[in-house]
Structure 1
Amino acid sequence: MADLKKFKHFTVSSMAFGTWRIGGGFWRASHARDGEWTASIKRAIELGITTIDTAEMYGNGHAEELVGEAIKGFERDKLFIVSKVWPSHASYEKVLKSAKASSQRLGTHIDLYLLHAPSRTVPLCETISAFERLVDDGIIRFFGLSNFDSSGIQKAMSCCKKYEVVAIQNHFSLLSRKDENDALLFARNNGLMYMAYTPLENGILTRNEFLNEIGKKYNKTASQVALNWYISVDNLVPIVKASTPAHVEENAQAMEWRLSREDWEAINNHFRTKGYLKEKVVSFFKSMRP
């Protein structure tokens, strides 16, 4: 489990279940596999993946509806639900409207609410002001950002008057590591949760022979090895989609064990670009949990 002080009494699982393309696509709903998708979310929760990531844009809100259906019967306080508001809805009134609509589709409050990407037209401080209002109203508990660099995160922090920015969600993987000396490092230094989306690069890492060879030592697959590499880093939570219960079960087997330090470093060195990491970033990764 991720131990994040800013969340205090809440537990964030070491891996999050992602719902992008579950329930449809970009502002487009699909009901073709509702039963299977709902079963997958339920199975994830049963296996300890209790952090669920969604957004109003996913399936035009249908992903949130599926999450709301799937969590019925589970103890709500043991779940951590993340949703996001699209940048075209970043104005004060539209944020309030979007959050309330998402909450209604989910059938519950939102634990973490993120601005999905920077807005080109709405001042960031206006969005943050709406987030703080939503905390006061009990619609959300925490807020953060997605697809922001460290300077954007600092700007958002400067806008806060009552509460704190507690999380950042960006693209990060063994093959896409530009955030290592920017948002990821900033998150670590400031106690923010860093949620990494597309950590398996749409299946590319599941077929990686180097990871597969290391996995043989642990009786694990390449994807399980990659996911374990991520969850061995403090404050980093990989977001993984699984559209079938069987796929969920494979992903869940990346938890509750740890790569040896030697193997973790071997993976780190294998995938990093020569000369890319700066000294302080290397120090960051050496602080990984044993």
Structure 2
Amino acid sequence: MEMEYKTFRGNLKMPVIGLGTWGIGGGYWTPDCSRKAEWVALLRRAIEFGYRMFDTAEMYGGGCSEEIVGAAVSSSGLPRDEFFIISKVWPNHASYNDVLKSAKNSVSRLGTYIDLYLLHWPSREVPISETIRAFEKLIDDGLIKFMGVSNFDSRLLMEAMGAAKKHEVVADEVKYNLSDRFVERDLMPVAVRENIAIIAYSPLGTGSLLNPSSKGFEVLSRVASKYGKTPAQVALNWLIGKPNTVAIPKATSEKHLRENLEALGWRLSQEDVEQLEQAYPIT
């Protein structure tokens, strides 16, 4: 399946579907590299299927996830510029010097530069202006190409954008799926106006969307049958059809890797979009 792309502020070009790697290589700051070869092989298969964007973070497996992404990309035989790597710095490391240190460590584990570097969550201690200043130095030094934020509402996003002096904040990674559409009320109007990328994590609601007993599933299933697609493919297609939105579903099997890419190459009708949105109202 041929990948589709969207272009955002600052000439940021991103695949509309990538691969989330939370849980690959360990958990919350806890590395588990015992299955490293297996995970690298899975990501290599993802690359063969057509994935070009990987979302990771220093927190994921305490950096082991970054090592796995880096190993898969470097051993793929494809040019580095075909890939788009997202990584994130934890808010405990949001100070100027800590951001620089975290980024250097992430680049070392990845074995390459970072395309998009995000502040994982807003920091309660460090002003966003200090973090952004560090991000701008990282861009100047060639360690990262673009900078952004994650889990920021519209007010905090605008604050981050206002803090940028030399380069632009171009993305906000947030939880967004059919059953959790708050983004449309708060963040999306600003993102569309400013041409900011919305990177949707948990695009399938960590699986809850696909539970047959979940609210709205009957409509989701019916629409899927109409297109000869799975509920997951319809949910992803709905999401990437939204303005300024790309999705990073996690998949840990070849079956799901392939399934998610089948959300590409077609579009839901406006009538079916409206049916889905009535079944999954904004709360």
- TM class by shorter chain equals over 0.9
Q: What amino acid is the match of 2:146? A: F
State the match for 2:55 in structure 1: 53
State which of 203, 208, 211 in structure 1 corresponds to 2:207: 203
2:174 aligns to what SS in structure 1? strand
Equivalent positions of 1:54-93 (< 5 A) are 54-72=56-74, 73-93=77-97
1:167 aligns to what SS in structure 2? strand
TM superposition shift of 1:7: 4.8
TM superposition shift of 1:54: 0.4
In angstroms, what is the RMSD of aligned CA positions? 1.4
TM superposition shift of 1:57: 0.1
Contact 2:173 2:199 in 1 (8 A): yes
Q: Which moved more, 1:221-230 or 1:239-248?
A: 239-248
Provide the rounded CA distance (Å) in 2 between the counterparts of 1:17 and 1:250.
Answer: 12
- Whether 1:245 and 2:254 are equivalent positions in the alignment is yes
Deviation >4 Å, runs of 4+: none
TM superposition shift of 1:19: 0.4
Overall identity of the aligned pairs, in %: 49
2:200 aligns to what SS in structure 1? strand
State the match for 1:159 in structure 2: 163
State the match for 1:3 in structure 2: 6
TM superposition shift of 1:82: 0.4
Contact 1:44 1:252 in 2 (8 A): no
Provide the rounded CA distance (Å) in 2 between the counterparts of 1:209 and 1:41.
Answer: 33
2:226 aligns to what SS in structure 1? helix
State the match for 2:191 in structure 1: 187
Provide the rounded CA distance (Å) in 2 between the counterparts of 1:185 and 1:37.
Answer: 38
Equivalent positions of 1:207-286 (< 5 A) are 207=211, 208-273=217-282
1:111 aligns to what SS in structure 2? strand
TM-score (norm 1): 0.90
Contact 2:43 2:72 in 1 (8 A): yes
| Structure 2: gaps of 5 or more residues | 212-216
TM superposition shift of 1:49: 2.3
TM superposition shift of 1:90: 0.4
Q: What amino acid is the match of 2:102? A: S
Contact 2:8 2:197 in 1 (8 A): no
Contact 1:199 1:227 in 2 (8 A): yes
TM-score (norm 2): 0.92
Provide the rounded CA distance (Å) in 1 between the counterparts of 2:153 and 2:56.
Answer: 21
State the match for 2:214 in structure 1: none
TM superposition shift of 1:18: 0.1
Contact 2:29 2:63 in 1 (8 A): yes
Provide the rounded CA distance (Å) in 1 between the counterparts of 2:84 and 2:73.
Answer: 11
Q: What amino acid is the match of 1:198? A: S
1:71 aligns to what SS in structure 2? helix
The superposition leaves residues 62-90 of structure 1 with CA deviations (integer Å, 9 ceiling, x where unpaired) of 00000001112222111111000000000
State the match for 1:142 in structure 2: 146
State the match for 1:37 in structure 2: 39
| Structure 1: gaps of 5 or more residues | 277-290
Q: What amino acid is the match of 1:54? A: T
Contact 1:12 1:50 in 2 (8 A): no
